[in-house]
Structure 1
Amino acid sequence: MTIYRISARRTPLFTDRSPALALTAVWALTRAGMLLLLWRDTLGIGGLGREVYLLYRHWHQLLSQGTFPPGDATWQYPPGAGLAILAPGLVPGLTYYQAFVALTLLADAVITFALARAGASGAWLWVIGLPLLLHLPLARYDVQVTALAVLALLALRAGRSRVGGALAGIGAMVKVWPLLTLIGTPRGHLTRRAWAWATVAAGALFTVLALGYAHPLDFARQQGGRGVQIESLGGTALSLARLAGWWPGEVRYRYGAFELTGPYATGVAHFALLLTGLAFCWLLLWRVRSWQWSAATPLDAALTAVLLFTVTSRVISPQYMVWLLGLAAVCLTCRETSQRQVALLMLPAAALSSLAYPVLYEEVITVTPVGVAVVALRNGLLLAATLLSCRRLWASTVPGPPSLKGL
């Protein structure tokens, strides 16, 4: 019999106007700073905005003609991503670039408002944490995807499994990982209902896009060909080996990212896929062994799952930190969370990510000691956070002293 320890206690921000005004002021000031950095766009390697006004706008033109990018190595996203690419073109009076940034800020504001209503600590972590990534979040559509995941988790926490499931399903059609927000739903009808609505929402969206646009599944072929990105854990291992003179490989620009190529690189990529499979198996084992649920369990499990799939990925792009900050912030809206320390570790990890990209990215891609050290520190912090997250999740949900409790 499953033991539920559900508590709907909240620490709402809007019972007192002063904290709300302080949060709003900090949000406005930090986002103004991010806009200024994006307007200048010269920090470090520079040119972060090119992704929007060149690549995204190119994709928008193709989608406007009724086709997903065919044979494009940089298009590696599910068909729902087309909605995020098309949306800026629907905003009147603004250029595509301006509209994209405006919609990103709107999604950021929605996340902040939703978190503030659920709990002040989570809202503050998001508001303070996102600017640590400098202006990168404004030039990628990951904030929009994170909004879907955050709203899905908050809906699940409030007992609205249909809404949470539907949002998770739509998010999965945009960038896959939001489906992991359902990994910690309580057993029984809540899980069945959430997954059913996720399936219906994802299926309906895919059907509409498949009927309206050509090449909806072309992304899968491009994603499968990716190698070891220089910022991944595997990339760090190869970079350290190159610095030590043990590995003769080099860095090449492939599939829209800088990858390490040479002897053993393919093996490292395959090993990363194996680790991802093992991470999935661990999540299934946790799901089977866990019997003690609280209001925080779905939130904690989502952060743990995304951390596992991030650190075992062949690719750890800096925008992945947007996802982790959003999920960490949701965890902090619940007093019962087991992930408080893990959530706080996302702040230095985000700062190190922005130091690696864009500030010192030339050092990273030329595999200098400074560049490798920064990425290694970030990845080491993420790995430590992942192991701690797994241990805390297991300890808070699995009764007794299981053998995996000491992870």
Structure 2
Amino acid sequence: MSAFQVAAGVLARAAARHRLLALAAVWLASRALTLSLLAHDTVPLLGRGAVAREVWKLYQHWYAVLSHGAFPAHDTLWQYPPGAGVVLLSPALLPGLTYFQAFVALTVAADGLVALALARAGRRPGRSLRGAAYWTTALPLLLHVPLARYDVQVTALAVLALLALPRSARACGVFAGLGALVKVWPVLVLLGTPRGRATRTAWGWAAATAAVCLAGLAAVFRDPLDFARQQGGRGVQIESFGGTALSLATHAGWPGQVRYRYGALELTGPYVQAVAHVCLALTAAALAVLVLWRVRARRWTPATPYDAALSATLLFTVTSRVISPQYMVWLLGLSAVCLTARETTQRPVAALVALASLVSVIAYPVLYHEVAACSWTGCALMLVRNGLLAAAAALSLARLWRSARPRAAVPYGGTRPVFSPSSVQGAKALPTGD
């Protein structure tokens, strides 16, 4: 090795350390700012205390119920899988703090874990620190909302599952299974696992982890599956695509109203059930499209599992009857994972997700009263936010679909190497199990 190569290596390592230090400084400064916003949550533009109320009133109430060995049965606000109970009980790990303080501290810790995992992944050969930078700078776009919801913890499990896949399909499955037991959607991170042994291992360990943990929770707590009944009764939330359409319909004489039901503001009145059924049908169609992509995909890159997870989550988000502001945390986390891989096709999608997050926080909590009143301002905000999400979902699926096609031949008689799950190249780049 020449002296020039040695010097170049030293400079590269020094530059990497400086980038990591800069990321750490930005993370600390931005999280201090969001904590300050949470401390001043009662300011009108920050929601008049509504954001923090979710923790100190609702979560703390459920904590008291769970502490007595039962899930909140017959509580219409309880719509979460049983694993959520473990997250809501976790503030007991910090007995010197109030429930609210401990919950926020653990959420910040989960946020830091995601940033650290992304930074570590970004330092591997062929990877990028863009993912860590994206998470560090994009999450604060949601202001203090992520600190008062447990979606950061769920997103951490999904991120860890994806980042573990190149080295251990078992670990990927374990994290995905735990995430699914907490909030279902992390199971989508398994959609893009390479065919063959890697898929069997990841899915098998995910199912086994979820089954064992569910059995353990059922042995300790009563009514672990009561959440399904409440979830099935949910209607059309005002932030969803269907809710935006119905909000606009009020300006054309539709007689519906906005009411607080199942822990959210929902629209009630004629045709609401029809809109809800359309949303469910679109979700089923999205699932069918994703399965078709999986069947027809012929080319995998190291970024394919990440890109597929983001695309699937976007499709299920935009077709949902409920698009709460905290859903953006999931999309930011998955976008960050995509950006750690240089082969990703989702860079423009990540930009759209970040922009949608910025608009989302203007809608909630800043101008939520306008959204709840179905005013023209509120309708315009939701049209822009949901339009950005729809564009992101369509672009994500299109780029994912194209990336799975075998590459065409190149001039002069040569061919580009096809990277498929069954190819030698793919076997070297992606895991086939443990």
TM range (shorter): over 0.9
| Equivalent residue number for residue 188 of structure 2 | 180
- Write the distance in 2 (CA, Å) between the matches of 1:223 and 1:274: 17
1:66 equivalenced with 2:69 (yes/no)? yes
Does residue 85 of the first structure (1) align with residue 94 of the second (2)?
Answer: no
Aligned ranges 1:236-251 → 2 under 5 Å: 236-243=244-251, 245-251=252-258
* 2:326 corresponds to 1:324: no
State the AA in 1 paired with 2:48: G
> Cα distance, 1:210 vs. partner?
0.4
Q: Normalising by the residue count of structure 2, what TM-score does the alignment of the two structures yield?
A: 0.88
2:318 and 2:309 mapped to 1: Cα distance? 14
Amino acid at match of 1:225: G
Give deviations 1:359-403, integer Å, cap 9, x for gaps. Answer: 0000000011111101110000000100000000000003489xx
Partner of 2:52: 49
Q: Which residue of 1 aligns with 2:219?
A: 211
Q: State the one-letter code of the partner of 1:100.
A: F
Unaligned runs of 5+ in 2: 1-11, 123-128, 409-434
Query: What CA distance in whole angstroms lies between the structure 2 residues aligned with 1:89 and 1:15?
Result: 41
> Which of 108, 114, 118 is the aligned partner of 2:117?
114
Percent identical among aligned pairs is: 61
Alpha-carbon RMSD across the aligned residues, in angstroms, is: 1.3
Residue identity in the other structure for 2:403: S
Amino acid at match of 2:29: L
Q: How many residue pairs align between the two structures?
A: 388
Whole-Å separation in 2 of the counterparts to 1:46 and 1:125: 29
User: Is 2:161 the counterpart of 1:152?
Assistant: yes
- What does 1:168-317 correspond to in 2, within 5 Å? 168-243=176-251, 245-317=252-324
Structure 1 match to 2:424 = none
Q: Give the corresponding residue for 1:40.
A: 40
SS in 2 for 1:323: helix
1:99 equivalent in alignment to 2:102: yes
Q: How far has the Cα of 1:346 moved from its partner?
A: 1.1
Give a deviation string over 1:205-237, Cα, whole Å, max 9, x none.
Answer: 100000100010000000000000000000111
Matched position secondary structure for 1:151: helix
Q: Deviations over 1:57-114 (max 9, x none)?
A: 1101111100000101111000000110000022121111000000000000000001
Structure 1 outlier segments of 4+, above 6 Å: 12-15
8 Å contact kept, 1:14–1:116? no
Q: Does 1:351 align with 2:358?
A: yes
Listed one character per residue, the Cα deviations across residues 285-328 of structure 1 (whole Å, up to 9, x for unaligned) are 00100010010000000000000000000000000000000000
Answer whether contact 1:169 1:179 (CA < 8 A) is retained: yes
Query: Do the aligned partners of residues 234 and 97 (structure 1) sit closer, same or farther apart at CA in structure 2, a change above 3 Å counting?
Result: same
Q: How far apart, in 2, do the equivalents of 1:90 and 1:153 lie? A: 27
Distance in 2 of aligned mates of 1:390 and 1:46: 38
Could you tell me how far apart the structure 2 residues matched to 1:229 and 1:13 are?
49
Point out the structure with max Rg over C-alpha: 2
